[in-house]
Amino acid sequence: REAQADRVVLPRLEPLVVGNTVLAKTTDAEVLAIDLDTGLAKWAFYQNAAPAKLISLSSSVITGGLPDVAETLQSRVWSSSAFGRFTSDGLRFYYVTEENVSHAVGRRIGEGYNRLQGISIPAEGKILWQVGGPPDELGDDPLAGAYFLGAPLPYGGELYCIAEVNGETRLVVLDAATGRLRWSQQLVHPLYRQLRYDPERKSQAITPIVVDGIVICPTGAGAVVAVDLQMRRLLWGVAYDADRGGNSMAPFRRGNLIYGGREFNPLAPSWLDPGCIVEGGVVAFSPPESHIFFCLDLLTGDMVLPPQRREDGRYLAAVRNGRVVVVGERRALALDIASQSVAWETGYPDRSRLAGRGLMTERGLLIPLSGGRLIRIDADNGEVLESTVVDRELGNLVVYRGNLLSLSAARIAAFYTRDYLQEEVERRLAANPQDTWALNQQAQVAMADGQIDRAFGLLNRSLELNPRDVDTRFLLAETVMQGMKKDFDKYRGEAARLRDFVDGAQRFRFLQWLALGSIQAGEHAAAFAHLVDLVHQRTGAMLSGISMRPMEMQIDDSYAVDTDAWLATQLARAYAHASPQQREQMDALVVREMEVSERLIAPLRRQVLRYFGWHAAAQPQTLETAIALLDAGDSIVAEQLLVPLALGPPSHGRTPARALLARPSTIDKTQFGPRGRIVPSIFGLDNGLDPTLPPDLRGGAEDWQPDWPTGRLIELSVAQDQNPFSVGLQVPVRFERFGRPEFQLRLSGDTLLVFNQNGEDVGHISIDRASADSSDVFVRAAVRGSLLILETSSEVMGIDLYRGLQTGQDALIWRQSLMNPTAGPRTPFGMPNPTPVNTSFGVQIFHRESNGRRILVGPLTNSTLVLQVGGTLMGLDPYTGHQVWSRSGFDDRIRLSHRGSEVAIVEPSMGRTVFIDARDGMVLREEKHAGYWEHWFSSGPWMVDYREQQTAAAGGAGIHSASTLRPTLLIWNPFDDAQRHVLELERGTRAGVLEDRYLVILQPTGNLQFWDLETGRHVAHQAEVDQDLNDILVQRFGGTLLILSRATSENPPSRVLNLDSISRDFHPVNGWVYALDVQTGKMLWDRPAGLFWMYYPKNQPRNSPYVAAYRIESTRSNLAFLTLVLLDLRNGELAYTARRMPVRSPSHCVMELRPVSHTISIAVGGRTFLLRATDEPTPPQPVAYFGKIGPARSSTHPFQSFDLFR
């Protein structure tokens, strides 16, 4: 999940070693005492005598994978340094308890106090004393209600603590044996925020340090204070800016208290703790509440090094030779104090990232990295002296008696230091040359040096001496796996010999490398057999109840993949590359698996089908299972099985799978059918369902298509009443419904409103939008079957459409944060920053960024939804939201397209295009990419890029505006170099796109181009066009594509109200309107229609044969008048006009169709127009030309149509 967010989330737990006992905090609030020599638990201490709750599941969110991590667990492991640390004087350890918390207004609010406990180590966790607690219980106790900000510093038989007491931050000194108060000293009095409402400050482990009789006291409140220990008085204090530059809200006062302040994101990058290092009279300090660090003079507090930006620094490692060593997420550096310049900077190898707090030793700086890598850096020059990889996740490090201890988020592990281990091995082998422990450790040293053959020989010898030694078998299997990676042919025989006694999690990795080696050797049948063995192990574990959760395979530091997805894809890939003879063997294996799966329980049977669903032998059972699921109303699970088959390569099952996906549900028939809802409309009128109609029409037959009359449109009535509001924002939707009816969406707050294509409100779906959804410019949706994927500015979510329409709730299947993928929807984090780019062809392109990272919701492929978060790509299962794979190491200015199961990743900064398999994220190939273009949008395999060139336009040299730039569009297919079109466009050209599919380009010369990027059709026309176009809007009504233009050559009349300032659902139209046939691209009208100073409502029904436009004009007496027109989309003629009718509210327009009765209802401005289409003939009339103020224009370009690039 850290890689998913493309950032580093570090554990805050740290071990403490006392004698031969390792003390460590666990995630369930336990202090665990571990024997240093054996790793066995000695005793445990619970704060509340029982483990604390860790996991919370939301009843409304099904992730399909691991449950959401509870806020408590998140705080303990990754957010709060105060929770995971304690101190000791050898006899006792000192421990700060957690405070109880409650939730109010979406925030965790603590009680404002905690306790400090002294606990006996010899008595194995006996509480000797405790101080602090609720004021109402402790009365006049000076520490009643105190909040201890961190574990104390044991010094000279006393404990030095930083605590908040009665609103003051104080240095509190206690007797170590009894906990009695000795003395205290006020440090600061924070005024900006009460501590109980300040989770950021409470998360810090604030412990003072004592140097040369001076107590250095961090406060976490924007100040660091020094106290003279002998005189017990303040020596100096330094204040600093405590604002990290994050999101802020204005503080507010209630009574005598001040609340509010900066939002706290516990997972946001910051200093690990108030790092305070003193060396040579210099105090280096890194406060977590700020993004700076600085150095002070120990005696005076004078600034030695002024504040420096944190950049990606996470902790200060040392002050050495006049330099401050800073360890960051992807690099370490040393800053010279005198010159304030970087003395050296070292990036981590193999794109590794920081995994925890390292430590400074006599031999250099040890830094734990991702992927189990540990490096040692020379602190004087930054040279990497050593690098090794261990088979454990690393975390915060401690060195003690030749042992290196690591405490990560999940485990504590002990390693020998190399020097200690070599000395111990030599000593034991000298005493006994057949010491298997020493031989095994000697083999591990050889493996660390890359001497696989030598390690294998040593372990073989150890196994001969003791064939039943479990450690020897494990190490031998690990060595053979490393050998297979390096030379498969050489070690495959040894792998076969060891195969039978390798078990557990190691067996899975062992079989995995056997399969990969066989694939690389071209032995696809053998690889397939190994993969089937892996399937047996996976399903066997599920059947026995060991684990039903997804498992992740970390292939390398930059690539992780879900186990099941990897298995299914590797099986299909091995089969695809096999010879006909090899496929016969594979066919027999799959047939046998299908026979066995018929006897499995339904969930396991579906899992087996996901492994083998691509094979012909599995397709009948896939179809049978899907039919049963559809009949039971479980369309989401059924589609999860059918979609890969329907969208995959040609097979016997593809046609029946598509037929099943096209089968309409009851909701499709009764709510989305072309005849409308089978319920009363919101206007109080019936649906026009004549009871005398045949039953097939009254029953909602889905194949019934309306046939609107082409004659006169008559006005039945105009009622003056209170119109219903057209609430919410129109959501652009890309449909893939396999022939099922489309619909329209609007988003209003936390409610998704669903309308059918006749404009009828068919249902509302409640969703819980994220707190960071501050902008609606990124709102859009994709619909595949019954799955609705909604994208907002800060997250993407999967919704069960049918369930939502049936219940209005419990429709949310999964959600994925884009800003902070590891957090829940209500966790505060940086707001997305929409960055607009104004192009010279009239399109405004928005890029989404957060904390300097670009974020993109990419293509929905056959198997995954691809997301980009900074330099990391990830593939989500669109039906469960489970992360299928992730791959990091890209520039965040990449652009994406897809064809089938392949994704093209164009990375201009690296001059390459990387092709990956969307099923498992595996890199398939890499090609060179030349030239740099800005990206507009992608559609399937196509990318549409652009660049702009300065032209010698009026306005003088050096003036660069959109009006003086000449655009060039590049429409190209990275999967096929032959499909590449460069369009050099005229200055003043305008373009528009709809559904990421239909592209329209209109040039000042009258050249109108239509591109259907799904079919590849491209048609050009010569059409009448206005000069000085501002923009064009592309809309689709069934099979008609409507293009509405807006010219800016004239100022609008002052009396016409500006409706687009009221709502983005209104688009100004002032010029020509064109209609194209979606299928052929041909013009539908003899010439374009003209609409001037009108407004087009975007929420019009898409089944309508008419399109409406209107304007509101005001008078000096503040009266408003409506002018409404309807154009017939079939011929462009003016079908209806209502001129200058007095109205009340100009801000809403609602339109509904009743296809059976051929009536249309339009509610606007407090009036409802009821119209009916008839067969009455109308006199011949030209294409509409309406609303022009002034002389009419004549046509300058006759229509001409021609095809290009056929």
* Domains identified in the chain and CATH numbers: 101-268 (2.40.128.630), 438-667 (1.25.40), 832-930+963-974 (2.40.10.480)
Q: What is the pLDDT of residues 1130-1177, one digit of tens each?
A: 999 999 999 888 877 666 788 999 998 999 999 887 889 999 999 998
Taking the C-alpha atoms of residue 1162 and residue 208, their distance in angstroms, rounded to an integer, is: 72
- What are the phi and psi torsion angles at 290 (to 5°)? -140, 160
Question: How far is CA 651 from each of CA 612, 613, 617, 902, 1076, rounded to the nearest angstrom?
Answer: 14, 11, 11, 18, 36
Euclidean distance between the first and the last CA atom of the chain, given in angstroms as a whole number: 47
* CA–centroid distance for 855 within its chain: 8
> What is the CB neighbour count within 10 angstroms for residue 615?
23
Q: What stretches of 209-348 adopt beta strand conformation (E)?
A: 209-211, 214-218, 223-228, 233-239, 252-254, 257-259, 275-279, 282-286, 292-297, 303-309, 313-320, 323-328, 331-336, 341-347
pLDDT at 391: 76
pLDDT at 932: 82
Return the residue matching tokens 């003791």.
Answer: 466
Note whether 1000 and 1067 are within 8 A (CB): no
Amino acid at 1175: D
Q: 504-520 and 524-543 helices cross at what angle (nearest 10)?
A: 160
Residue 318 three-state SS: strand
pLDDT at 193: 56
pLDDT at 338: 92
pLDDT at 516: 86
What percent helix, strand, coil does the chain show, rounded to 5? 20, 40, 40
Work out whether the CA dihedral 448, 449, 450, 456 comes out positive or negative. negative
Note whether 275 and 268 are within 8 A (CB): no
Q: What stretches of 329-383 adopt beta strand conformation (E)?
A: 331-336, 341-347, 359-361, 364-368, 373-377
Taking the C-alpha atoms of residue 357 and residue 14, their distance in angstroms, rounded to an integer, is: 9
pLDDT at 755: 94
Locate 123 and state its tokens: 């008595």
Which residues of the chain fall below pLDDT 50? Answer: 1-5, 49-69, 102-108, 244-262, 546-549, 679-704, 823-829, 953-961, 1191-1206
Residue 136 three-state SS: helix
Locate 264 and state its tokens: 């706290």
Residues 6+ apart with CB under 8 A from 484: 491, 492, 495, 513, 514, 517
* CA–centroid distance for 679 within its chain: 40
pLDDT at 57: 38
Note whether 7 and 852 are within 8 A (CB): no
DSSP label at residue 705:
-
Full-prediction pTM beyond 0.85? no
pLDDT at 1115: 73
pLDDT at 835: 85
